[in-house]
A and B are shown apart, each in its own frame.
Chain A
Amino acid sequence: MTPFPLYALAGVALVAIGLHGLFACVHLLRRILAVNIIGGGVFLVFGAVAARDPASGPDPVPHAMVITGIVVAVSATAFALVLAWRIHRATGRSTLAEDDPSPGA
């Protein structure tokens, strides 16, 4: 049996866990981590796709895409963390509070 289905299914499972975290968690740090778990799952699927044909060896194109995807994920995570920190500083909360302060015009 090729490792393709195993890794691909593990990737999909990570996506599911991350999605659950994104919707079920309230704390912003947990939600940012959840997005990263989804990202990790997607990258794992790409890794599995690269190895889908054991006869011809690993395919480099998905590897290139994962590296690019990681760069995007790092920048997005850094930005999200700064936003979460600024929200904490401005409101004292680490959640997307439902009672948004009325927008100052």
Chain B
Amino acid sequence: MAAELLDRSVAWSVLTIVPPLVLAALALPLGRRAVPWLPLAGAAGLVAAALALALQVRAHGPLRLELGGWEAPLGIALQADGFGALMVLTTAVVGAAVMVHALVEFRHPTGGESRAGLAFWPLALFLLAALNAVFLGADLFNLYVALEVMGLAAVALVTIEGGAAALVAGMRYLLVALAGSLAYLLGVALIYAQYGVLDLESLAERIAAGAAPDSTMAALVLMTVGLLAKTALFPLHVWLPPAHANAPAPASALLSALVVKASFCLVVRLWFDVFAPVATAAAAQLLGLLGAAAILWGSVLALRQDRLKLMVAYSSVAQIGYLFLLFPLAGGAASLPWAAAAWSGGIFHAVSHAVAKASMFLAAGTIIHALGHDRITGISGAAHRLPITVLAIGLAGLTLIGLPPSGGFVAKWLLLNAALAAGQWWWALVMLAGGLLAAGYVFSALSQTLAAAPDGFAIRPVPLRMELAPLALALLSALLGIVAYEPLALLAIGRPAVAVEGLP
């Protein structure tokens, strides 16, 4: 029975995309009647489908599916390798925890569902479907459509509570996201003019077959710059902190954990799977340099914030920087012994950070729910009243700092080893400095919560579920280092040729 369910022919990849779309469309007309069964059914179904897809890829290797039997260039193809399956699984797990938390977050004080909540369910489900479509897309143009659906849902999630600051932050995010997608689309046009295909696999073959003309390089630059703006890599990060800090906490969690990772994963796919012969070592060094600047700049700004959510958002700017150290360490035309460690480490960091950052934003949401604000100077005493939430922040902090046994530790350890093996010790210095700075901002927030509560410390009671969802994610991120073997083995399936050398 189980073996039949995991057969190659079962389209689990479709089941991670279509059901959330259908449920999102249903959630609109159903409104209040859809809560709580629809979000919970969506979350459970997504986790099941993602888990099945991961097991299927483990059993059969990379899978490819032509929808409706239509082949490229007209059909829509989906591909699932270990990388895609792991990101889909991360999306499902983070999405499920966020849904559980949001069921409480959006409950109206007088009972029933708040207006923001009614907008949240369809948007969140659209977002999860679009994320999976980005992780599994096999064709440059369908990836563009998936990116746009993701971007519009993400911006709408920022603005659902309708405050002036959130509206302005959302508008800025929207303009950046649209300009980024159009830059990407122009790159797609250049590629199509040159090669006449959009399918990633056939495109990779054609690029590898002949000397690439200048227009290929121009297309890669356009697509990369567009995606970097969506990923908020320094210096294109300015839109991120206000957008992520002003969104409701469950939306912030989805945005910081998953949305910025989707465009990052697409850059990785383009650079390693498709354009590997074109991507030069100098360009990879430049991406690493921007990543290093993001680590230092984001961490320093995170230390200086006086609001918890802004601190967590600037921390995302810094942690996004680590992801881009993958390029100088694993990139370049030659396949080098440390490339596999760097490639796996960078992507494992995307997963660990997704889990940890979602936990931190949800925990910040719980604190706002209980205290009515998130000023760091005003959260003294929180540890006595909300011990589970503060524990979640501490455990998730392990990944941001890179302490064992967290997933962040394993990811940074892999990157650090690759940097030393490659003789590019400067990246190691930046990573260590980033770890120290992260320890600074995590501990300064934690020590505030441990201080004695001021007189007249009032707190609104918090349902246990709202504390358990961030704790579950935090425990997962803290223990991901111990069970790192499984996700790393999954990642190795269908790994790009450049990163196959060496271990793990």
Q: Which residues of A contact B (CB under 8 A)?
A: 8, 15, 19, 22, 28, 31, 35, 38-39, 41-42, 45-46, 49, 52, 59, 61-62, 64-65, 68-69, 72, 75-76, 79-80, 83-84, 86-87, 90-91, 96-97, 100-105
Contacts and interface: CB of A to CB of B under 8 A. Distances in A.
Chain A binding site: helix, strand, loop or mixed by DSSP? helix
B164 A76 contact: no
| Chain A CB within 10 A, most for which of B145, B190, B193, B196 | B193
- List 4 tightest A-B contacts by C-beta distance, closest first: A103-B165, A90-B164, A105-B373, A49-B193
B168 A105 contact: no
Contacts of A91: 164, 167-168
A101 B165 contact: yes
Contacts of B391: none
Contacts of A76: 148, 152, 174, 178
Contacts of A59: 196
Interface of B: 73-74, 141, 144-145, 148, 152, 155-156, 159, 162-172, 174-175, 178-179, 182, 185-186, 188-190, 192-193, 196, 198, 242, 245-246, 307, 309-310, 368, 372-375
A96 B155 CA distance: 15
A104 B165 contact: yes
Contact of B182 (A42, A90, A104): A42
A86 B182 contact: no
Given A35-B175, A49-B193, A61-B192, A83 B159 contact: yes
Given A72-B145, A91-B164, A49 B192 contact: yes
B310 to A, nearest CB: 8
Contacts of A49: 189, 192-193
A66 to B, nearest CB: 10
Given A49-B189, A76-B152, A103 B171 contact: no
A83 B309 CA distance: 23
Contacts of B159: 83, 86
A84 B156 contact: no
Nearest to B175: A31
Contacts of A19: 179
B148 A105 contact: no
Given A39-B182, A76-B148, A87 B189 contact: no
B368 A105 contact: yes
Contacts of A31: 175
Contact of A100 (B148, B168, B174, B190): B168
